[in-house]
Structure 1
Amino acid sequence: MKETTPQPVTKSTGASVETLRALYAAQWKDLHHSRVQDWRLCNLLIVGFIGVGGLKVIGQFPELQMIASIVFAVVSLLAVGITIRHGFLFKEKMGAILEIEKLLAAPVLFKPQKGWHRFFKVQYLIITIYMLFALFFVYLACGGLS
């Protein structure tokens, strides 16, 4: 049987370096997963946009077009809520990541910066896209583009 050497333990938490590294990887994985969810929602709404727009162009099935417009408008608004929640999740996870980096004595890889450029975050772009989709679907549900 092979003897394993015990992993070094951090002084402040008592956690092994291996445990901290696994936790660090899990935090990053959660962040990436939430961003993938945001883009999948965006893809779903693009498909809805094409489908509802196609129903409108064809001009048949006005009831189906109205129902689909309402459903996709609701999905758009729910997507805004999910994206906002993912923004809070990002802050939580980055806080944990920075804390783990301190415990591992790793060089600081991420430094949040303040300034006007933070207005152009990807999250704001995604929320804007969702709101535009919601407005479009509501417009179609109300009989727009007749």
Structure 2
Amino acid sequence: MKTLLAGAAASIFLLAAPTAAYAVGVSSGDGQGAQTVHDWHPCGLDTGGWLKSTDGHPVYFAGMTTWKNLIPDENVGRYTRSTTSADYVTRRGLIGSDRSCASHNSFTGVKVRICRDRPLMPDSCGSWVAIRK
């Protein structure tokens, strides 16, 4: 009976897995965080997660939409406000495009990264992490 219940529980978990939100870890020299999928849109992603500054400098999440068929990636840029907190804070935003992707169905996902807000200078950013649709 115990084996039967364990098998049933595993089956339910596996069936539910494709619809469950997942998280990707994101980091840079200035911050650490994670982003989760809340809702996919035809040309973007509603995402949320947690972010903290590792050295007290303001950091934020930046994003980019990704496309197939040799269409260049489209840099959306900052999609959350900055934080200087050493503890994780919640950050949510929308990474989307004005591009008419619904007609040719070429939107494949997004890329996210953490950037340091540097007034009067270019912001420094970590590596891109992909979230595929």
The alignment's TM-score, normalised by the length of structure 2, stands at: 0.25
Q: Which has the larger radius of gyration?
A: 1
Which structure is higher in RCO with an 8 Å CA cutoff and minimum separation 6? 1
Structure (1 or 2) with the greater strand fraction? 2
